[in-house]
Amino acid sequence: MSERRDAGQPAGQQQTGRTAAYDSAFLRACRREPVPHTPVWFMRQAGRSLPEYRKVREGIPMLESCMRPELVTEITLQPVRRHNVDAAIFFSDIVVPLKAVGIDLDIKPGVGPVVAEPIRTRADLDRLRPLEASDVSYVTEAVGMLTAELGATPLIGFAGAPFTLASYLIEGGPSRTYENTKAMMYGDPELWADLVDRLAGITSAFLDVQIRAGASAVQLFDSWAGALAPSEYRRYVMPASAKVFDAVAHHGVPRIHFGVGTGELLGLMGEAGADVVGVDWRVPMDEAARRVGPGKALQGNLDPAVLFAGHEAVELKAREVLDAASGLEGHVFNLGHGVLPNTNPDALTRLVEYVHGQTAR
């Protein structure tokens, strides 16, 4: 992919000093500027739906794969090569920085992150030390390798939001009820505030490492924020998320905020400091724009399950998304959640072609 670089310029740079990706359709859309076409990328685009991903990951545990720069580079590039998406997203996992600061956890196939000793008391906070760049030197190395290969294609860095990380740490793994998380939130609000504040520092440092190494944008995943009412989000979650966005604002890269089941929280998620608000498939894009308000780009929001319905159905539903987003200041086409593991990769490739063709200006 090195042919995308500007001739005679260092990898990732133009004569202006801006990154080669600066004028890409993706970054222009994030900045709410005119675009040559609606940009497309997919959450979990570098993952289990790709046979080439399964091949290179064979026999390598998830967390170990996140710590091998050559492997991270290859996996991140795979969907860009195959689908011609407008941005790459860094291959990692939201619990990587927790592992890096010494939390005993593992990602178990079919389950997800599992924490050996959940954090439930004030004494447990001592296990969450600040993240240093040297803790994740493999991230710096991988991002550098990627930006050299990607050239004018932007790389999106990412991290887990404090609430979602806290829920894993408190519950000890995935949860449907978040009973221990909410018990701390309601029952010991001071401990809760200290926990998410400490996680905000770790998350900010993890994003800072990626941006300094060359990421053109970052996305904060608050995967489980949909478990909260708006008043709970504003009081217990929004300050920590805002701290993360504030901490990386000086870099000047677009900041994206995404959660699942967060239709009632969209305005608050934008208010927390995002430049781009991700929308899941439950809320039409025009309604999402009304809830978020002016001054923000939106990202989304095709139902991932539609990709199993056949090409005509995919085009029909994609057209509905594009129509609903037609009046937006900035729109990045994406799914309303991650690519499902059994998705046919060809359906994603055709979807990119369709969106590009329908929106070419």
Catalytic site includes residue 93: yes
Q: CB–CB of 274/255 below 8 Å?
A: yes
Q: What is the 3-state secondary structure (H, E, C) of the chain?
A: CHHHCCCCCCCCECCCCCECCCCCHHHHHHCCCCCCCCCECCCCCCCCCCHHHHHHHCCCCHHHHCCCHHHHHHHHHHHHHHHCCCCEECCCCCCHHHHHCCCCEEEECCCEEEECCCCCCHHHHHHCCCCCHHHHHHHHHHHHHHHHHHCCCCEEEEEECHHHHHHHHHHCCCCCCCHHHHHHHHHCHHHHHHHHHHHHHHHHHHHHHHHHHCCCEEEEEECCHHHCCHHHHHHHHHHHHHHHHHHHHHHCCCEEEEECCCHHHHHHHHHCCCCEEECCCCCCHHHHHHHHCCCCEEEEEECHHHHHCCHHHHHHHHHHHHHHCCCCCCEEEEECCCCCCCCCHHHHHHHHHHHHHHHCC
Catalytic site includes residue 57: yes
Catalytic site includes residue 235: no
Catalytic site includes residue 126: no
Assigned token pair, 60:
């390598």
Q: Which of 6, 23, 93, 303 is catalytic?
A: 93
Q: Which of 44, 82, 198, 255 is catalytic?
A: 44
Distance CA 252, CA 245 (A): 11
Q: Which of 168, 178, 233, 354 is catalytic?
A: 168
In Å, how far from its chain's centre is CA 49? 18
Assigned token pair, 320:
């509905």
In Å, how far from its chain's centre is CA 279? 12
Catalytic site includes residue 44: yes
71's CB contacts (< 8 A; 6+ apart) are 56, 57, 60, 65
Q: Which of 5, 28, 32, 57 is catalytic?
A: 57
Active site residues: 44, 48, 57, 93, 168
